[in-house]
Structure 1
Amino acid sequence: MKVLYPGSFDPLTYGHLDLVQRASERFGDVIIAILDNPTKVPTFSIERRIQQINSSISNLQGIRVISYRGLTVQCAKKYKVDLILRGLRAMSDFEYELQIAHTNRTLDNSIETIFLATESHHSFLSSSVVKEVALFGGKVDHMVPPIVATDLYQINNKNK
């Protein structure tokens, strides 16, 4: 079974990796799809995020990283996936993610979405929280893989 895990991954967190690993164990073939959203200014380029993710998943099998523009359902169709994977941290995530899942079904009812809850010790993690902690000089090593932490520290040292 092939699963598409879409997101910005800006930056990749241990919560994201938790879901990738568990999806890989359950479904085998996982495509991590980085949304290239022209309405947002990312911290890291698409190319750098691909490098960060590939470095962080090098010990896992059956996973590939792509980037895409446009609708997630179009990406899912292009790569012939069986399911779209979305992560949940808290009840507030569920409301938003359910809305997205329903919207995707109205666009293409052949595409199903599944939800996985992150492990509880990752439930506080979000990319925006990680970026804010790093911006103000806090440690993020326990929140993100080493390559991402290094990149965040380098960016924030340049901005001082």
Structure 2
Amino acid sequence: MRVGVYPGTFDPLTLGHMDIIRRGAKLVDKLVIGVATNPSKSPMFTLTERKIQVGREVADIPGVEVVEFDELLMNFAERLGATIIVRGLRGAGDFEYEFQMTGMNRALNEDVEQVFLMADVALQPIASKLVKEIAVYGGDIRKFVPPQVAADVVARVAEQGLRGS
């Protein structure tokens, strides 16, 4: 069985993420969505909330499982028996970051390949950070995230009084 991992913070899950998940799931027998902690980010949603959100949105995609993780990606992949890391690319900025990460990951575990999927052209501008910013300033995010995720984000903005002026 070929196992792949698609890691990310998914805060929030976007239509771009969903595109990569659907396409990545076709490359492997089992695709594990690794919902990660990330000490360099301040998430809007807790790790458990993000796992639930992602799980809800991928429930209809065969062979996809959602797992939380808080460890080195290569250790996580090895523990799962994964041989492929799936990553999405939107543009040159993503490439520079991913190029560096690939080198580091390769040094940690050369048996795990990294596969890059270009995001659908229509979805390339979407970034979780921008979705949150648009929501905080009262913009309509329904074009960028699944409907229930949009509702979750709007509710969180209202709940935390994050709305800007």
TM-score scaled by length of structure 1? 0.95
SS of equivalent to 1:41: coil
For residues 156 and 115 of structure 2, what CA distance do their matches in structure 1 show? 35
Give the superposition deviation at 1:28: 2.9
> For this pair of structures, how many residues does the alignment match?
160
SS of equivalent to 1:142: coil
Give the superposition deviation at 1:40: 3.2
SS of equivalent to 1:55: helix
Question: Residue 119 of structure 2 aligns with which residue?
Answer: 118
Unpaired runs of 5+ residues, structure 2, are none
Superposition CA RMSD, Å:
1.1
TM-score scaled by length of structure 2? 0.93
Question: Residue 69 of structure 1 aligns with which residue?
Answer: 70
Structure 1 stretches of 4+ moved >4 Å = none
Amino acid of the residue matched to residue 93 of structure 1?
D
Contact kept in structure 2, 1:8 and 1:34, CA below 8 Å: yes
Unpaired runs of 5+ residues, structure 1, are none
SS of equivalent to 1:5: strand
Equivalent residue runs for 1:19-98 within 5 Å: 19-98=20-99
1:4 aligns with 2:8: no
SS of equivalent to 2:27: helix
Give the superposition deviation at 1:31: 0.3
